[in-house]
Amino acid sequence: MSTNRGVVYIKPGVVEVQSIDFPKLALGNRKCEHGVILQIVSTNICGSDQHMVRGRTTAPAGLVLGHEITGVVLEAGRDVEFIKAGDLVSVPFNIACGRCRNCKAGQTGICLNVNPSRPGAAYGYVDMGGWVGGQAEYVMVPYADFNLLKFPDKDQAMAKIRDLTLLSDIFPTGFHGAVTAGVGPGSVVYVAGAGPVGLACAASCHLLGAAVVIVGDMIPERLEQARSFGCEIVDLRSDTPLPDQIAGIIGVPEVDAAVDCVGFEARGHGHAAGTEQPATVLNAAMQITRAGGAVGIPGLYVTEDPGAHEEAAKTGNLSLRLGLGWAKSLSFATGQCPVMKYHRQLMNTIIYDKIQIAKAVNVQVIRLDDAPGGYHDFDKGAAKKFVLDPNGMIPN
């Protein structure tokens, strides 16, 4: 019998690499002929995973983590027509059926048929349908013809795998944040958060033609990573108000577009930098975005946060200054990125050397057995994107 190992959530602060079931082409008691089994080439640790591991969600013990997956097709179900054994593919973190009204409209982040509790599903994530995660050696992917992006040249893709692995989530997510904020040629943009999604968003802003990209964070190493590929930076630990810091860079205290790449574990700015204030980024974005501008919100917000410091925030209720946003006629875009809307085009930007996204987010490849250490370092604010190599397939 084939074996499999994966990264398993044990309790807050603890993950372990354990033996797990080898995937089957099955959904409950019925065959999943539209699915494939993948041998995983690369699978990434995401900030969204970190929320669960910190105990900030209702994730159950025993959950196999991981929604950022790239792999080689090992076996395909009878109904899979266009994906074949041996194909190297990128897996969107959204699981989508391709058949419901939302999928047909391109809203694959909120598929209606893959999660009995709410629209939208993902691998290895709390309340997202119970799908087994992909921080493992092997995983099953359903609706393969619809979901999977096949790389046209396998050898070429393996040579750029550190970049292409980011197509499963953070590159499209950062790009989506920029697009929904209205970033285009000549834009001045503020990106909140210099974690991997924030850095991917900042790089995406450059790709979209932004004139100035300003990145805010509280971790010096992450700010230096943003500066390394041409971003302006603001240190949110400073007592100088954010609008004044922005004015010091561009001469005025407002930007055309803002993107929240932080989410619900946001902390206060300046003298309140050590205090969790979940609405801080959203309120700051409304303050600094020009009238008629837009705010993209790819940062994660949850409906249940048992570790919240404020009682209201435990059910996702935040103290938003929405009146300011209304008065300025701001637009807001929230929710999961519909990865399939972007991933083929972004693949081409990598293949044809229009962007060095792995360099921008500082990819570091580690073994599957080193995943617990990767989670620990990431939780401490490492300015890195940890990519797991479960089967020793990523070239040096």
Let me know if residue 394 belongs to a domain.
no
Question: Greater confidence, 296 or 275?
Answer: 296
Taking the model in full, what pTM does it have?
0.97
Task: Please indicate, yes or no, whether residues 271 and 314 belong to a single structural domain of this protein.
Answer: yes
Task: Please indicate, yes or no, whether residues 193 and 118 belong to a single structural domain of this protein.
Answer: no
Asked if residues 54 and 12 have their Cβ atoms less than 8 Å apart, the reply is yes
Q: Please state whether beta strands 232-235 and 188-192 pair in parallel, antiparallel, or not at all (unpaired).
A: unpaired
Instruction: Decide if pLDDT at 186 tops 70.
Output: yes
Q: What is the CATH number of the domain that holds 181?
A: 3.40.50.720
| pLDDT at res. 22 | 98
pLDDT band at 235 (very low <50, low <70, confident <90, very high): very high
Asked if residues 214 and 193 have their Cβ atoms less than 8 Å apart, the reply is no
Tens-place pLDDT, residues 307-341: 898 899 999 999 999 999 999 999 999 999 999 99
Task: Please indicate, yes or no, whether residues 21 and 154 belong to a single structural domain of this protein.
Answer: yes
Let me know if residue 116 belongs to a domain.
yes
Q: What is the CATH number of the domain that holds 118?
A: 3.90.180.10
| pLDDT at res. 261 | 98
Query: What secondary structure does DSSP assign to 303-325, as a single string?
Result: S--TT-SSTGGGGT-----HHHH
Whole-number Å distance between alpha carbons of 187 and 182: 8
Task: Please indicate, yes or no, whether residues 178 and 159 belong to a single structural domain of this protein.
Answer: no
Q: Which of 316, 334, 352 is the last residue of a domain?
A: 334
pLDDT band at 396 (very low <50, low <70, confident <90, very high): confident
Task: Please indicate, yes or no, whether residues 165 and 299 belong to a single structural domain of this protein.
Answer: no
Asked if residues 276 and 267 have their Cβ atoms less than 8 Å apart, the reply is yes
Residue 387: closest CA among 370, 354, 363: 363
Task: Please indicate, yes or no, whether residues 90 and 100 belong to a single structural domain of this protein.
Answer: yes
Task: Please indicate, yes or no, whether residues 165 and 226 belong to a single structural domain of this protein.
Answer: no
Q: Which of 317, 334, 351 is the last residue of a domain?
A: 334
Whole-number Å distance between alpha carbons of 207 and 274: 33
For residue 199, what are the domain limits? 170-334
Task: Please indicate, yes or no, whether residues 176 and 312 belong to a single structural domain of this protein.
Answer: yes
Task: Please indicate, yes or no, whether residues 15 and 112 belong to a single structural domain of this protein.
Answer: yes
Percent of the chain residues past pLDDT 70, beyond the cut: 100
Tens-place pLDDT, residues 89-109: 999 999 999 999 999 999 999
Q: Which of 291, 306, 334 is the last residue of a domain?
A: 334
Tens-place pLDDT, residues 24-72: 999 988 999 999 999 999 999 999 999 999 999 999 999 999 999 999 9
Asked if residues 256 and 182 have their Cβ atoms less than 8 Å apart, the reply is yes
Asked if residues 198 and 217 have their Cβ atoms less than 8 Å apart, the reply is yes
pLDDT band at 1 (very low <50, low <70, confident <90, very high): low
Percent of the chain residues past pLDDT 90, beyond the cut: 94
Let me know if residue 363 belongs to a domain.
yes
Task: Please indicate, yes or no, whether residues 259 and 295 belong to a single structural domain of this protein.
Answer: yes
Task: Please indicate, yes or no, whether residues 33 and 140 belong to a single structural domain of this protein.
Answer: yes
For 222-242, what is the mean pLDDT? 97
| pLDDT at res. 158 | 98
Let me know if residue 396 belongs to a domain.
no
Task: Please indicate, yes or no, whether residues 115 and 182 belong to a single structural domain of this protein.
Answer: no
Number of domains in the chain: 2
Whole-number Å distance between alpha carbons of 110 and 218: 32
